[in-house]
Structure 1
Amino acid sequence: MRVAVFALGGTISVARRGESDRLTGAEIAAAVPGLEELGVELDVRDVHAVPSGSLTFAQLLDLVGDASRAVDEGAAGIVVTQGTDTLEETAYLADLVWPHDAPFVLTGAMRQAAMAGADGPANVLSAVRVAASREARGLGALVAFNDEVHAARWVRKSHSTSTAAFVSPNTGPAGHVVEGRVRVLAVPPRRGVLPARYDTARLDATRVALHCVTLDDDGALLSGVADTCRGLVVAGFGVGHVPARLAPVLGALAERMPVVLTSRTGSGSVLRHTYTAPGSETDLRERGLIDGGLLDPYKARVLLRLLLAADADRETVAKAFAEHG
């Protein structure tokens, strides 16, 4: 059995604190106790050795393309090591376009290799086990961290330093790695797969803004956004509310481009028709905003940008969010 490992940058690749030396994928794998005993052949490749905050959609889609070819050539699963800063977004992007039953597993580290209690080796070991397992097949993109397995659709980074930073607030982990055994307890539903290939120039030109609503927000920061962006994600209060005076600003924007309503809370869904006051979810939907459902603002932005880069119209965008949200 063969697993293809794609090594990017991030904390897991930092050799020593304060130094710019990067560990290669082979060096990361060599530092994992017990990896050779799994009986899994590793095809390790180094790509995009940058912090995850510097990754682009185009780079990630290219990576998914390379991973897809690896599966076509016989790999049973994929492991990607990267920085944790954007891991929840990159995992969801991969999940949206990953067409295979072979697991696509992302992992990383919260502690550098030279630190006491470095978690990178354990996370890589778990990730390879998940990628090679029968239990994870057909589940799309997954995040293996701290002996937990999270569905890309639900996972979030919830802490800046903890080794247990990754959680799935709405569902809990999809599974666990226990005594080397992958235990999947909750199978995440698979949604429709989006195209995996995009024109790079069109993708780069497809800007999607994200606006987090705050107390006494009058929308002044949104001035001109429709002139520079093709879409907007709004992270509203609670179940999808905004100040009353912001509602007409958002309604005017929704006449010019898709505007998706999400919640800034980090878990739970925006509502559709429970509250009716100005600035409520009912009012905003009547003004043309699209219901983001259970998607958090960051994942909603990933989905919206891919849709718009494929020239989806508002009706297509709304249908996609009804399915994925």
Structure 2
Amino acid sequence: MGVALFTLGGTISMAGHTPGGEGAVSRLNGADLTAAVPGLARLGMPLDIHDIEAVPSANLTFAHILDLVDSASQAVKAGACGVVVTQGTDTLEETAFLVDLVWPHAEPFVLTGAMRNPTLAGPDGPANLLAAARTAASPAARGLGALVVFNDEIHAARWVRKTHSTSTATFASPNTGPIGHVIEGHTRILTAPVRLRAPYPRPEALDNTRVALHTVTLDEDVDTVAAVADARHGLVIAGFGVGHVPGRLADLLGTLAERMPVVLTSRTGSGSVLRHTYGAIGSEADLQRRGLINGGLLDPYKARILLRLLLAGGADREAVTAAFAEHG
């Protein structure tokens, strides 16, 4: 058995420069990536390389990731003890959560990438790839679902976030911290996240399911929120603090919640939406009385992933509410 490596592009695979000398271009395939990693040969098992279409992570879609999960699943069924995926970091936290919701195997599914491309001093890609491969090969990581391994830290997909635009320590789990570390080449799991439920099946109506996300800001324009929600099947609201919006938005959000699921989250980056601490118009208690669904600890980006997956799979309001009570 070995580890299946799937490469999607991103900073980790960039090398060389455009003709004008500005910016890196994607040129490295899986064989190039692995050849640049000192110590990978001592992993103790082979890497089975699968080069997928190299695209910036900003261009990835649900379909891309679900196709990747299907391919990774086939690799596991063929004997792989774990999976590593390299991709760009821009959307890595979202793809990891989507994978976690649908991954049906005990074998680890590990995502990683880089913040410094190989043309720069101190590229972090080789170290991240080595740590990811060690984690994917480790029996200690079995049953943990999708993981993000960066900077020798192991993060659960449900909690991890990209927190800095350039730092090599960008990935963090503000609510929990990392669940483990790679120390002297060994994977150490310190706490295991609970796998909440059986994986969701791949939905058939994904292309026809539209879910919007709107971040509430100071002096918010009601018409803007209405326009964002127009012709959507669901809406995620990233509210202030513990789940508040300007009072003038409350009626609109209540009206929207009568025709589609509207999930209330916090724009802060960590912490939970509350349920019954504040009661003014536009507060979390008021919005829930109007039919909004509490997103709990899920950040807005992950809430949108879950809501779209649920609606594309035909979930009704009761099922959506129950799912967010479980995941949030």
Both proteins in one fold, TM over 0.5? yes
Contact 2:11 2:117 in 1 (8 A): yes
Q: Which residue does 1:296 correspond to in 2? A: 299
Which residue of structure 2 lines up, in the alignment, with residue 100 of structure 1? 105
1:91 aligns with 2:91: no
Post-superposition shift, 1:285? Answer: 0.2
| Alpha-carbon distance in structure 1 between the residues aligned to 2:127 and 2:198 | 31
Which residue pairs with 1:125 in the alignment? 130
> Are residue 174 (structure 1) and residue 179 (structure 2) matched?
yes
Coordinate RMSD, CA, aligned:
1.0
Q: How far is 1:222 from its partner?
A: 2.1
Given the superposition, is the C-alpha separation of residues 303 and 150 from structure 1 closer, same or farther in structure 2, using an over 3 Å criterion?
Answer: same
Q: SS of the residue aligned with 1:112?
A: coil
**2:159 aligns to what?**
154
- The answer for the alignment partner of 2:14 in structure 1 is 14
**Partner of 1:253 in structure 2?**
256
The code of the aligned residue for 2:12 comes to I
Equivalent-residue separation in structure 2 for 1:196 and 1:133 (angstroms): 27
Contact persistence 2:245–2:282 (CA under 8 A)? yes
Q: Output the amino acid matched with 1:283.
A: D
**Distance (Å, rounded) in 2 between the aligned partners of 1:21 and 1:63:** 19
Change in 2 beyond 3 A, CA 1:104/1:21: closer
- The runs of 5 or more residues in structure 2 that have no matched partner are 18-22
Note the C-alpha offset of 1:38: 1.2
CA–CA separation in structure 1 for the residues paired with 2:265 and 2:313: 22
What SS does structure 1 have at the residue aligned with 2:177?
Answer: coil
Distance 1:186 1:123, change over 3 A: same
Residues of 2 paired with 1:272 and 1:178: CA distance? 40
Identity level (%):
70
State TM-score, norm by structure 1: 0.97
Q: CA deviation at 1:100?
A: 0.7
Q: Secondary structure at the match of 2:38?
A: coil
- How many residues are aligned here? 323
Contact 1:239/1:263 (8 A) holds in 2: yes
2:226 and 2:252 in contact (8 A); partners too: no
Q: In the alignment, which of 221, 226, 230 is matched to residue 224 of structure 2? A: 221
Amino acid at match of 1:73: A
Offset at residue 21 of structure 1 (A): 4.2
Note the residue ranges of structure 1 that are not aligned, 5 or more in a row: none
Deviations 1:257-315 (A, max 9, x none): 00000000000000000110100000000000000000000000000000010111111
Amino acid at match of 2:96: A
| Alignment partners' CA distance in 1, 2:107 and 2:26 | 33
Change (3 A) 1:21 1:171: closer
Partner of residue 141 from structure 1, selected from 135, 146, 155: 146
Contact 2:212 2:229 in 1 (8 A): no
User: Could you say what secondary structure the match of 1:255 adopts?
Assistant: helix
**What is the CA distance between 1:36 and its match in structure 2?**
0.6
Aligned to 1:319: 322
Give CA-to-partner distance per residue, 1:162-216, whole Å, 9 cap, x none.
00000000000000000001111111111113434232xx212211100101111
